[in-house]
Structure 1
């Protein structure tokens, strides 16, 4: 299992017009998280291996903001509620390549499938008389071909490091994902390890609303990652 303390930057366009732009640090999102399970499973034999990476997060928030409806008139309080759900699943295989030389580093070439599904709902209403000014809901999903590489090695018998980079293309307009981490192994024969690092990911997903309007969603997530690793 792992925990990604990610800050979010979300931009949503409908028919090419910006309708939602949100940027929030993780510290501002903590009390808005409804659920956030994350896990990475991996198995290998010889030079070949496979892995599954599962990430899900659900956020919701409601605020009231002043909006100037007409020049010269007092601003009107508008209630805005927004919900964001993201499911991200990577299923991939990797082939371990001999780096050569005296280094103890290993290079894994990665290929697989990335699936993601994102639901964004934003509703703006006037408190009195309760009139809805805007109601946008989009649920784009995509299945991409995933390609990447991972370089890892040991500082000492207990300390290790990892660099991971990948990108995907297909149904989406493209995604990229990068991770740099270090870890400390402990327990009998290094059965467990505690890893920490920094991860950056960007998703660009086209979609369509229920009314047929086209949507373009651009989401960037970045922040520290902490993971507890079981080896067997």
Structure 2
């Protein structure tokens, strides 16, 4: 379902006692407990904004809209994950009836398959609430936020080392190549682990090019 700000505000009003205010980009990041670069990613995903910063003007966000959008997004993610998990469980159980090599294998009816899939889902959901399981989407968001900070730090590392340790030009070049290699390797490893939605925060350009961009 497409995001509807009016519907989201109705479904997810601010909690009692929470004052609704207009905030800037930094304050919005604080409110959502994320980094400022993550706000850029959220904006690309549809985070409501009262005014976009330009020509020295700051971004402006309404806390009630920000809260409603985040709650709507998280709720939609949970529903999508739950549906996918349920479908996967049902398909897994279907294959139990295909084990022709095992004459002792139990043949399950469609109702039994559905009941067992539902039981598996409830067990996994309970484990998630206890903090023993985490959804892939949440892990991906957390790692992407960490990668944003990692990229920010490594792109300034070469210049810092050059000034701090008075490196020679050939040493600077070697260090820059090493940093570039780390960025590329990190990006590839992330894409292998989370193939859905390629990471854009770890670029394949050089560390200095990224810092100057």
Normalising by the residue count of structure 1, what TM-score does the alignment of the two structures yield? 0.22
Query: Which structure's CA Rg is the greater one?
Result: 2
Higher relative contact order (CA 8 A, sep 6+): 1
Normalising by the residue count of structure 2, what TM-score does the alignment of the two structures yield? 0.23
More helix by share: 2
More strand by share: 1
